[in-house]
Amino acid sequence: MNRRQLITLLGGAAAVWPHDALVVGTGALLTNQRKRIIALAAQHAMPAIYPYREFAVDGGLISYGNNVPDSFRQGGIYVGRILKGDKPADLPVVLSTKFEFVLNLKAAKASGLTISPLVLARVDEVIQ
């Protein structure tokens, strides 16, 4: 499978930059197939960034996205307010405020990438 076939496999839910990097989007299909996507990206030496920390935990290079448990907590607060009588239309829009930047050093080394100390200083979690 070549790089173009990899992108076709992802069904347009990924973007290829001129430097042959992969940006994987969100969605149940991509999350459920994350191990396959990670393996294919590694097989083709394609640096990739993923939306959730689970991708980096499973061997992906980098993930940056909202903290999913915090998002569910926010949703629970909304449900609680609605059950207590608040009208949904009167509730303010709440955006995620907790984001995670996770780097998998093992994946970086396997790809032959050197991670800058400036990047390491900004990472929320480093997976060895």
- Please give the structure tokens belonging to residue 57: 């935990």
Torsion of CA 59, 96, 9, 55, to 10 degrees: 10
| CA-wise closest residue to 52 among 64, 38, 36, 35 | 64
Q: Which residues partner with 64 through β-bridges?
A: 101
- Condensed to tens digits (0 to 9), the pLDDT of residues 67-104 reads 989 999 999 999 999 999 999 999 999 888 899 999 99
Q: Where are the domains of the chain?
A: 3-67+98-127
Please tell me the pTM assigned to this model: 0.75
Q: What percent of the chain has pLDDT over 90?
A: 52
Out of 3.30.1280.10, 2.40.50.140, 3.40.50.2300, 1.20.140.10, the CATH code matching 3-67+98-127 is 3.40.50.2300
- Buried b / exposed e over 10-28, threshold 16 CB at 10 Å, is beeebeeeeeeebebeeee
